[in-house]
C-alpha cells in the first residue's frame, strides 16, 4: 500500500483567511472545523482532499503573520486554543483527513523568551542560541549577507554592542543550528505536536537552517548570469543557505518521525537548482519525505516550459522519491491571475489543475484555487504584509484574501469586515454558486480528485513524456493495470494529438466533449484530456 503522503492531495489553508467563526474578521481553527465537510465528507459532493497544511497557528506578534513564532507549543488566541486544535485533529481524522502543521525552525520571533534571554547579555546561557557577531572595525555588519525581505541581514543590538543575524525581518532572529541545545529544543517541539496526533510538518525555509561556520561574504554573480530571484540582493547565496550540515539535522528529524509511524516532512526548499533540491530527499528514505518544487510558480504559460521542469526533476530525484508540485501558495501570485487570458482564463485554470493532479507527484492545492480565486488588489492603506509595506506592488496580501464561500455578506467568510479586502467578484466566484453548477471549476476539481483516488496509473504509475505537437504537453502515466495518456493544449488554437494507442476518454477539461474514443484527438484551444489507453501493456 502506497504511503498516504504519496497518494494524497494536500490543501494549504492560510488560516487567517479560511473561515472566521468568532466575528473578529480573522479565520480560526473553529472555522476550519466548520468547513471540514466541504473539504472531504467521504463523498464526491465534497472536494475530497486528503491532508491539510495549516500555516502557523502559534502565538506570535504577527510581524510576518505567524512566521515569527513566540511560543512553539501553543495556539495564538486569535486562532483558538489547544483544545480546539485537538478537536480539529480528531474531526479531521474522523473524515480521513490528515493534519500537517507549519514548523518554523530557522528563526523565532524577537519576542520569543529564548531571544529575550539571548539578547539580555553576552554571557547569557542562551546567547549562543542565536547568531551574534561583533561589528567590523568600522562599525558595519560582520558580512555582506542580505535579508530576503530587503536590506542587511544583520541588526545591531545597542545594549550588548553586537549584531544578530536575521534572514527575514529584524523581528525574526535566526537560531544557531550549530548549537546542539537548539537541535534538542526543537526536537521537543516536534514531539509535542506528534504526541498530539499531527500527521507531519511543512518545514519553513529548511535550506536556510545552517550557515557557513566562518560567515564568509557571498560572492556576486557574473552580470550575464544574474537572476532576480535566485540571486536576490545581487548575490550568489553560497554561504548563507544550503550548507551540507543541514542534512544531518534532517536525518535526525526523519528518524524521530519514523519512530512515530506514518508521519511526514515536506520541506520548503526554496532553491531553484533542481540538483540541490533533490539532495533534500537524501537516499530517498532518510531525509525529507517530500520537497516542494516551486519552479511552476515561475513558469510562463508554455507547454515546453512545464515539460522541461517535469523532466528535470524526474531525472534528478532518487528512484524512490516523489516530486511535489504547487501552482499557487501564500507567497506567490495566484495562478488564476498569472495565467489569465481575456477569454481562456477559466479554461487555462482547468488545464493547470489537470496537469497538477495527473503528474507523478504529490499535489498541493492552495485554498480557493478550486473556485478560481484571483489576486485581489489591495489599497495602500490596507497593506498588511511587511514585504508589501517595504516594496509596494510586491506584497503577498493579494493572494491571501478571504475564502469566497457564498454571495452573502462578507462572502460567508465572516460577519464583520475581514482583515484583508474581499474580491469584488465574490458574488460570482464562490463555493456555493459553483457547488451546484455542473460546469464550474469546482465541479471539475471534485470530479478529478475523486477519479484520481481510484486510478492506479495516477496513484502509483510511472511518468513518461509523449511526443506532441508544438504548444502541447503530453505524457503517459503507466501502471501494469492502467495506462493513462494526458494531453494538455497550452495554445490558443485547436490542435490534433496522436496518442501511442487508441483509448477512451477518462476526463476532459471541456464539459460535454463530443469525441470520446480514438487514436487521434482534436483538442480545443486550452483543452486538456486524459485518455485511458487500450490494454495494459506499456505503450
Ligand atoms: C517562507 C514562508 O512561506 C513565508 O511566508 C515567510 O515570510 C518566510 N518563510 C519567513 O518565515
Question: What digits encode the pLDDT tens for the residues 21-50?
Answer: 999 999 999 999 999 999 999 999 999 999
How much is the pLDDT for 535?
Answer: 83
Q: Could you say which of 268, 370, 460, 527 is catalytic?
A: 268
Across 210-223, average pLDDT = 97
H or E segment at 475?
strand 472-479
The torsion of the CA quartet 371, 39, 270, 309, rounded to 10 degrees, works out to: -60
Q: What is the Cα 493 distance to its own chain's centre?
A: 32
Q: 43-86: per-residue pLDDT in tens?
A: 999 999 999 999 999 999 999 999 999 999 999 999 999 999 99
3-class state of residue 424 by DSSP: helix
Q: What is the value of pTM for the model shown? A: 0.98
Of residues 478, 452, 472, the one with CA closest to residue 527: 472
Across 516-530, average pLDDT = 97
Cell of 392: 509596494
Q: Give, using CA atoms, the residue closest to atom 10 of ligand 1.
A: 67
CB-based contact 350:444 (threshold 8 Å): yes
Distance (angstroms) between ligand 1 centre and the Cα of 57 equals 14
Atom of ligand 1 nearest to the CA of 64: 7
How much is the pLDDT for 2?
Answer: 87
Atom of ligand 1 nearest to the CA of 387: 7
Q: Give, using CA atoms, the residue closest to atom 2 of ligand 1.
A: 204
CB-based contact 356:369 (threshold 8 Å): no
* 320 pLDDT tier (thresholds 50, 70, 90): confident
How much is the pLDDT for 538?
Answer: 43
Q: 234-243: per-residue pLDDT in tens?
A: 999 999 999 9
Distance (angstroms) between ligand 1 centre and the Cα of 131 equals 19
3-class state of residue 145 by DSSP: coil
Of residues 323, 325, 328, the one with CA closest to residue 339: 328
Q: Measured at the alpha carbon of residue 454, what is the angle toward residues 316 and 356, in degrees to the nearest 5?
A: 40
**Domains with residue ranges and CATH for the chain:** 9-106+179-450 (3.20.20.80), 113-165 (3.90.400.10), 461-533 (2.60.40.1180)
Distance (angstroms) between ligand 1 centre and the Cα of 442 equals 28
Across 250-261, average pLDDT = 97
3-class state of residue 503 by DSSP: strand
CB-based contact 517:505 (threshold 8 Å): yes
Residue 539: is its pLDDT beyond 80?
no
Place of cell 550568489: 236
How much is the pLDDT for 170?
Answer: 98
> To test the ligand 1 pocket, which listed residue (105, 168, 326, 389) has its Cβ within 8 A of the most ligand atoms?
168
Across 351-368, average pLDDT = 98
Residue 536: is its pLDDT beyond 60?
no
Q: Give, using CA atoms, the residue closest to atom 11 of ligand 1.
A: 67
Q: Which residues line ligand 1 (CB under 6 A)?
A: 64, 67, 104, 168, 204-205, 268, 330-331
The whole-angstrom separation of Cα 435 and Cα 444 is 10
Q: Give, using CA atoms, the residue closest to atom 4 of ligand 1.
A: 331
Q: Give, using CA atoms, the residue closest to atom 6 of ligand 1.
A: 67
Active-site annotation holds for 268: yes
Distance (angstroms) between ligand 1 centre and the Cα of 65 equals 9
The residues that bridge with 209 in the sheet, in sequence order, are none
Distance (angstroms) between ligand 1 centre and the Cα of 441 equals 29
> To test the ligand 1 pocket, which listed residue (57, 66, 331) has its Cβ within 8 A of the most ligand atoms?
331
Residue 150: is its pLDDT beyond 60?
yes
Distance (angstroms) between ligand 1 centre and the Cα of 66 equals 9
Q: Could you say which of 68, 102, 171, 204 is catalytic?
A: 204
Residues found in the chain: 539
Atom of ligand 1 nearest to the CA of 104: 11
Distance (angstroms) between ligand 1 centre and the Cα of 508 equals 36
Across 134-162, average pLDDT = 98
The whole-angstrom separation of Cα 21 and Cα 36 is 13
Q: How high is the mean pLDDT of the chain?
A: 97
How much is the pLDDT for 537?
Answer: 47
Across 369-374, average pLDDT = 98
Of residues 326, 337, 325, 324, the one with CA closest to residue 399: 337
Q: 442-497: per-residue pLDDT in tens?
A: 999 999 999 999 999 999 999 999 999 999 999 999 999 999 999 999 999 999 99
Q: Give, using CA atoms, the residue closest to atom 3 of ligand 1.
A: 331
Residue 354: is its pLDDT beyond 60?
yes
The torsion of the CA quartet 355, 357, 360, 365, rounded to 10 degrees, works out to: 110
Place of cell 506567490: 332
Distance (angstroms) between ligand 1 centre and the Cα of 529 equals 36
pLDDT over 90 percentage in the chain:
96
Q: Give, using CA atoms, the residue closest to atom 5 of ligand 1.
A: 331
Amino acid at each position: 500500500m502506497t504511503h498516504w503522503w504519496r497518494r494524497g492531495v494536500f490543501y494549504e489553508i492560510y488560516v487567517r483567511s479560511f473561515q472566521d467563526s468568532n466575528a473578529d474578521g480573522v479565520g480560526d481553527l473553529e472555522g476550519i472545523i466548520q468547513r471540514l465537510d466541504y473539504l472531504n465528507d467521504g463523498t464526491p459532493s465534497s472536494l475530497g482532499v486528503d491532508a491539510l497544511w495549516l500555516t502557523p497557528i502559534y502565538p506570535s506578534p504577527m510581524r510576518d503573520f505567524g512566521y515569527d513564532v513566540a511560543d512553539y507549543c501553543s495556539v495564538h488566541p486569535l486562532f483558538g486554543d489547544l483544545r480546539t486544535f485537538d478537536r480539529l485533529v480528531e474531526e479531521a481524522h474522523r473524515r480521513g483527513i490528515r493534519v500537517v502543521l507549519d514548523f518554523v525552525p530557522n528563526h523565532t520571533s524577537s519576542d520569543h523568551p529564548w531571544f529575550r534571554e539571548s539578547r539580555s547579555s553576552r554571557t547569557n546561557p542562551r546567547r549562543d542560541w542565536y547568531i551574534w557577531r561583533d561589528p567590523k572595525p568600522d562599525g558595519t555588519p560582520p558580512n555582506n549577507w542580505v535579508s530576503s525581505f530587503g536590506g542587511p541581514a544583520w541588526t545591531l543590538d545597542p545594549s550588548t554592542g553586537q549584531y544578530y543575524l536575521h534572514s527575514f525581518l529584524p523581528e525574526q532572529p535566526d537560531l544557531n543550528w550549530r548549537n546542539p541545545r537548539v537541535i534538542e529544543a526543537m526536537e521537543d517541539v516536534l514531539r509535542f505536536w506528534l504526541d498530539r496526533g499531527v500527521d507531519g510538518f511543512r518545514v519553513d525555509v529548511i535550506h536556510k537552517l545552517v550557515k557557513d561556520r566562518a560567515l564568509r561574504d557571498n560572492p556576486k554573480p557574473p552580470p550575464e548570469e544574474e537572476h532576480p530571484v535566485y540571486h536576490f540582493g545581487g548575490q550568489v547565496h553560497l554561504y548563507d543557505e544550503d550548507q551540507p550540515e543541514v542534512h544531518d539535522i534532517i536525518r535526525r528529524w526523519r528518524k524521530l518521525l519514523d519512530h512515530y509511524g506514518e508521519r511526514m516532512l515536506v520541506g520548503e526548499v526554496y532553491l531553484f537548482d533542481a540538483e540541490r533540491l533533490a539532495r533534500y530527499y537524501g537516499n530517498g528514505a532518510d531525509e525529507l519525505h517530500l520537497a516542494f518544487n516551486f519552479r511552476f510558480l515561475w513558469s510562463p504559460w508554455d507547454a515546453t516550459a512545464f515539460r522541461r521542469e517535469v523532466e528535470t526533476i524526474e531525472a534528478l530525484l532518487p528512484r524512490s522519491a516523489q516530486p511535489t508540485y504547487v501552482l499557487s501558495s501564500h507567497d506567490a501570485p495566484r495562478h488564476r491571475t498569472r495565467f489569465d487570458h481575456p477569454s481562456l482564463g477559466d479554461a487555462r485554470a482547468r488545464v493547470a489543475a489537470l496537469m497538477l493532479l495527473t503528474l507523478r507527484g504529490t499535489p498541493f492545492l492552495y485554498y480557493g484555487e478550486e473556485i478560481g480565486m484571483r489576486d485581489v488588489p489591495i489599497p495602500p492603506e490596507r497593506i498588511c504584509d511587511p514585504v508589501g509595506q517595504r516594496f509596494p506592488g510586491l506584497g503577498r496580501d493579494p493572494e491571501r484574501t478571504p475564502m469566497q464561500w457564498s454571495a452573502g455578506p462578507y462572502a460567508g467568510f465572516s460577519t464583520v469586515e475581514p482583515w484583508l479586502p474581499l474580491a469584488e467578484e465574490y458574488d460570482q466566484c464562490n463555493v456555493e454558486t459553483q457547488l451546484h453548477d455542473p460546469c464550474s471549476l469546482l465541479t471539475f476539481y471534485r470530479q478529478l480528485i475523486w477519479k484520481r483516488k481510484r486510478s492506479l496509473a495516477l496513484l502509483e504509475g510511472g511518468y513518461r513524456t509523449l511526443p506532441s505537437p508544438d504548444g502541447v504537453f503530453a505524457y503517459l502515466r503507466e501502471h501494469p493495470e492502467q495506462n493513462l495518456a494526458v494531453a494538455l493544449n497550452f495554445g490558443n488554437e485547436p490542435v490534433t494529438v496522436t496518442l501511442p494507442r487508441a483509448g477512451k476518454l477518462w476526463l476532459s477539461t471541456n464539459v460535454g466533449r463530443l469525441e470520446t474514443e480514438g487514436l487521434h484527438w482534436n483538442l480545443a484551444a486550452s483543452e486538456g484530456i486524459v485518455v485511458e489507453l487500450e490494454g495494459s501493456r506499456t505503450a
